[in-house]
Amino acid sequence: MAENSLYYIGIDVGGTSVKEGLFDEEGNLLGKVSVPTPPLTDEAGFAAVTNGIEQLMAAAQQSMLFVRGIGLAVPCPVPASGLITMAANITIDPTGLKEAIEERCPHATVRYVNDANAAAMGELWRGSAEGHRSMVMVTIGTGLGGGVVLNGDVVDGAFGAGGEIGHIRVNPDETRICGCGLRGCLEQYASATGVVNNYLLECEARGVEPLELTGPSDSLTVFNACRAGDEVARAAIDTMVEYLSRGLQIVSAVVDPEVYVLGGGTSASADLFLEQLCDRYAARAFPASANTPIEVAKLGNDAGIFGAAYVALRSVVREA
Amino acid sequence: MAENSLYYIGIDVGGTSVKEGLFDEEGNLLGKVSVPTPPLTDEAGFAAVTNGIEQLMAAAQQSMLFVRGIGLAVPCPVPASGLITMAANITIDPTGLKEAIEERCPHATVRYVNDANAAAMGELWRGSAEGHRSMVMVTIGTGLGGGVVLNGDVVDGAFGAGGEIGHIRVNPDETRICGCGLRGCLEQYASATGVVNNYLLECEARGVEPLELTGPSDSLTVFNACRAGDEVARAAIDTMVEYLSRGLQIVSAVVDPEVYVLGGGTSASADLFLEQLCDRYAARAFPASANTPIEVAKLGNDAGIFGAAYVALRSVVREA
């Protein structure tokens, strides 16, 4: 058995699948497993998760005793207390699951983290923000998630709302209601759903028949149309960029990160808007932070497992 | 000589005076001195500061060898590097001053901190946020300064713009330009100057002759008029509260602090707007953080020396 070999597991609990990754202390991904998400409220559900850990450690020919930390990324607010009280898209008994994992991995520190915050920590550890101490990640998917990392640690927030930058109010005049119940949130304009809405509103305003979309967050069709020269699609993306630049301006005036990282499905189309976003951000930002770089994420769908493992590792380091 | 007696000095370098305070590790203020601010660019200027330290230690009958940390609060951005490059309201050679202090206090860690950030750390140490791990302070004076404290430490920001919440853009439609060169900044509506501007605009809109004011940031006259039942003054304060609630909503969606603290001269009139501010904030905030308490600062003009000393103490603890 190698000396000092301690392992970290990152678990990304999503609405459709639970992904688990095994990492060493340097952030090398040593193995991955994935299972469809069961209801995480009983022994069978808990076992689906702990069996994954066993599989990963067995494949690495290591004892469960060497699992030193386990991070669980979940799609809900995680307050500073670690006690999850709201979970919208998954069925989970957070305390039961944590206890079941602790029983199987007696030497492991187990910690929950919000999924967007986990993605930020992943990109900090081994992604586009590697080597930085502070960063803000913007995950642009169906919704718009954020993760704020300062001094190497994620900002969960006292009540679990740290990094909820999709719900920064960027348009005080908005009448449409956001999913969170507020109005004028960044997510309403700069998520995939937001881009589609921008496009449909733009079509309506111009009296143009919209393209056929596969669903309410099919921003890909809009991006592809823009690529093909569609002016209405371009205008929809301009609106996204306008609000996103307002959002980043605001974030810099609060925490002033070293770098921004754009992730999520939409970031694959960043070539269509990144330069424009950098320009508008620079024009709007408080002078000291006008040149903060904006990068595209590297880890894709693995950001969550990387980050969850890293959050666990950081907890262990702090405890030591 | 008492065992383990280490001391911390907080120095608040303002445009008119340099205030210095001596503290023990528990945050007890043991002595204070103040001198008019000299140009801090030559031996004479540096000596004005180091003589203050000597005076404080002599009065406490302690050797300069027991000064363990010195914090310097300055009215300019302090980047993560600690290297100050912009100083608008004071004449300072930051490196020269630091070296002069280090020479007189060979065992001390010397650290710069932005003045609004220092005030936040002061209130965290021994003021209204005592016992908290995270807080955001809003200092409402001629301008609107902010300080973000997370996990016990101040967020300076990578480029020194951490906590510049006066420059969050809360009104995208604004045409007037803020002192920072941007438009629609929180400071334009919620500083003392902002309240006066709100009042003058309100008078103009209503065709009312404004009260005589002593200057462009004489919000006290507006607050007093409101207290006496003046409806125009009330409307000006309503506008302040409206934008301040938007600002706090945004800050919570980024860092989600445990508590807000309102400081600066205007906070003395908080009885006129605090309840309304709490209500509007609660209605606007992301649900998880709708109940964040908003307190009034306790330390007054001493917040800066308390905070500067505490920043130095935290640096020493981190180094250890």
Distance from the Cα of A253 to chain B's closest Cα (Å) equals: 5
**Does A287 sit within 8 Å of B169, measured CB to CB?**
no
DSSP-based three-state secondary structure for B98: helix
Q: Looking at the predicted structure, is the pLDDT value of residue A212 above 60?
A: yes
In this prediction, residue A301 has a pLDDT band, given cuts at 50, 70 and 90, of: very high
What are the C-alpha distances in Å from A299 to residues A267, A273, A290, A306? 12, 20, 26, 8
Choose the mutation target among B286, B291, B314, B315 for the interface with A, i.e. most A CBs under 10 Å: B286
Q: Say yes or no: A163 and A279 in one domain.
A: yes
**Does B164 sit within 8 Å of A253, measured CB to CB?**
yes
For residues B18 and B48, the answer to whether their CB atoms sit within 8 Å is yes
Q: Say yes or no: A79 and A178 in one domain.
A: no
Q: Say yes or no: A142 and A68 in one domain.
A: no
Question: What residues form DSSP beta bridges with B113?
Answer: B73
**Does A256 sit within 8 Å of B157, measured CB to CB?**
yes
Q: What is the pLDDT of residues A139-163, one digit of tens each?
A: 999 899 999 999 999 999 999 899 9
**Residue A86 domain-assigned?**
yes
For residue B8, what pLDDT is reported? 97
Q: Say yes or no: B148 and B255 in one domain.
A: yes
Range B229-233 average pLDDT: 98
In this prediction, residue A87 has a pLDDT band, given cuts at 50, 70 and 90, of: low
The residue in chain A having the minimum alpha-carbon distance to the alpha carbon of residue B257 is: A158
For residue B2, what pLDDT is reported? 46
Choose the mutation target among A144, A156, A180, A255 for the interface with B, i.e. most B CBs under 10 Å: A255
Q: Say yes or no: A160 and A258 in one domain.
A: yes
Q: What is the pLDDT of residues A115-140, one digit of tens each?
A: 999 999 999 999 999 999 999 999 99
Question: What residues form DSSP beta bridges with B21?
Answer: B10, B32
**Residue B126 domain-assigned?**
no
Contacts of B148 in chain A (CB under 8 A): 254-255
The residue behind tokens 């989970």 is A92
Range B95-119 average pLDDT: 95
What DSSP assignment string belongs to chain A? --TT--EEEEEEE-SSEEEEEEE-TT--EEEEEEEEPPPBTSHHHHHHHHHHHHHHHHHTT--GGGEEEEEEEESS---TT------SSS-B-HHHHHHHHHHH-TT-EEEEEEHHHHHHHHHHHHSTTTT-S-EEEEEESSSEEEEEEETTEE---TTS-TT-GGGSB--TT--SBPTTS-BSBTHHHHSHHHHHHHHHHHHHHHT-PPPP-SSTT-HHHHHHHHHTT-HHHHHHHHHHHHHHHHHHHHHHHHT--S-EEEESGGGGGGGGTHHHHHHHHHHHS-GGGTT--EEE-SSGGGHHHHHHHHHHHHHHHHH-
Query: Which tokens go with B176?
Result: 């007037």
Over pLDDT 70: what percentage of chain A? 98
**Residue B154 domain-assigned?**
yes
**Does B249 sit within 8 Å of A169, measured CB to CB?**
yes
Question: B231-254 vs A231-254: helix axis angle to the nearest 10?
Answer: 100
Question: What span, in angstroms and rounded, lies between the C-alpha atoms of A156 and B256?
Answer: 8
**Residue A217 domain-assigned?**
yes
**Listed range (A2-11, B225-234, B261-270) with the worst mean pLDDT:** A2-11
* Nearest-by-Cβ selection for B160 from A146, A171, A288: A288
Question: What residues form DSSP beta bridges with A35?
Answer: A18
In this prediction, residue A88 has a pLDDT band, given cuts at 50, 70 and 90, of: low
The residue in chain A having the minimum alpha-carbon distance to the alpha carbon of residue B251 is: A254
Contacts of A257 in chain B (CB under 8 A): 157-158
Q: Say yes or no: A108 and A254 in one domain.
A: no
Range A295-317 average pLDDT: 96
What are the C-alpha distances in Å from B205 to residues B92, B144, B213? 44, 25, 18
Domain count for chain A, please give it: 2
Q: Looking at the predicted structure, is the pLDDT value of residue B174 above 70?
A: yes
State how beta strands B67-74 and B29-36 pair. unpaired
Question: What span, in angstroms and rounded, lies between the C-alpha atoms of B201 and B215?
Answer: 15
What are the C-alpha distances in Å from B52 to residues A236, A245, B31, B62, B302? 61, 46, 11, 14, 16
Range A243-271 average pLDDT: 95
Q: What is the pLDDT of residues A213-223, one digit of tens each?
A: 999 999 999 99
- Which range of A285-289, A315-319, B121-125 scores highest in mean pLDDT? It is B121-125
Q: Say yes or no: B219 and B186 in one domain.
A: yes
* ipTM field: 0.91
In this prediction, residue A77 has a pLDDT band, given cuts at 50, 70 and 90, of: confident
* Nearest-by-Cβ selection for B288 from A161, A246, A250: A161
**Does B86 sit within 8 Å of A165, measured CB to CB?**
no
Tell me which residue range forms the domain holding B285. 131-297
Q: Say yes or no: A102 and A194 in one domain.
A: no
Q: Say yes or no: B36 and B154 in one domain.
A: no
Q: Within 10 Å of residue A268's Cβ, how many Cβ atoms?
A: 15
Q: Within 10 Å of residue B35's Cβ, how many Cβ atoms?
A: 14
Q: Say yes or no: B135 and B274 in one domain.
A: yes
Q: What is the pLDDT of residues A57-69, one digit of tens each?
A: 999 999 999 999 9
Query: Which tokens go with A269?
Result: 């189309």
**Does B151 sit within 8 Å of A151, measured CB to CB?**
yes
Question: What residues form DSSP beta bridges with A137?
Answer: A147, A261
Q: Say yes or no: A136 and A264 in one domain.
A: yes
Q: Say yes or no: B230 and B315 in one domain.
A: no
Distance from the Cα of A168 to chain B's closest Cα (Å) equals: 5
**Residue A180 domain-assigned?**
yes
Q: What is the pLDDT of residues A10-65, one digit of tens each?
A: 999 998 899 999 999 999 999 999 999 999 999 999 999 999 999 999 999 999 99
The residue behind tokens 């001390």 is B108
Over pLDDT 70: what percentage of chain B? 98
Alpha-carbon torsion (A73, A74, A78, A83), positive or negative: negative
Contacts of A254 in chain B (CB under 8 A): 146, 148, 162-165, 168, 250-251, 254-255
Residue (of B149, B253, B36, B234) closest to A164 by Cα position: B253
**Residue A126 domain-assigned?**
no
**Does B80 sit within 8 Å of A284, measured CB to CB?**
no
The residue in chain A having the minimum alpha-carbon distance to the alpha carbon of residue B147 is: A254
* Nearest-by-Cβ selection for B151 from A153, A165, A252: A153
Q: Radius of gyration of chain B from Cα atoms? A: 20
Burial class (CB in 10 A: 0-12, 13-18, 19+), A166: buried
**Does A254 sit within 8 Å of B251, measured CB to CB?**
yes
**Does A246 sit within 8 Å of B172, measured CB to CB?**
yes
**Residue B2 domain-assigned?**
no
What's the CATH code of the domain at A183? 3.30.420.40
For residue B79, what pLDDT is reported? 85
**Residue A194 domain-assigned?**
yes
Size of interface A-B (CB pairs under 8 A): 148
For residue B1, what pLDDT is reported? 43
In this prediction, residue B240 has a pLDDT band, given cuts at 50, 70 and 90, of: very high
* Nearest-by-Cβ selection for B167 from A79, A253, A257: A253
Contacts of B286 in chain A (CB under 8 A): 161, 164, 167, 180, 182
Residue (of A318, A282, A97, A167) closest to B290 by Cα position: A167
Contacts of B86 in chain A (CB under 8 A): 288
Range B259-288 average pLDDT: 94
Distance from the Cα of B47 to chain A's closest Cα (Å) equals: 31
Contacts of B284 in chain A (CB under 8 A): 169, 182
Range B17-39 average pLDDT: 96
Distance from the Cα of A98 to chain B's closest Cα (Å) equals: 22
In this prediction, residue B209 has a pLDDT band, given cuts at 50, 70 and 90, of: very high
What residues have CB less than 8 Å from B205, skipping those under 6 apart? Answer: none
Contacts of A165 in chain B (CB under 8 A): 253-254
The residue in chain A having the minimum alpha-carbon distance to the alpha carbon of residue B287 is: A180
Q: What is the pLDDT of residues B59-80, one digit of tens each?
A: 999 989 899 999 999 988 888 7
Q: Chain-wide mean pLDDT for chain A?
A: 94
For residue A84, what pLDDT is reported? 82
The residue behind tokens 């027991």 is B66
Residue type, A278: C
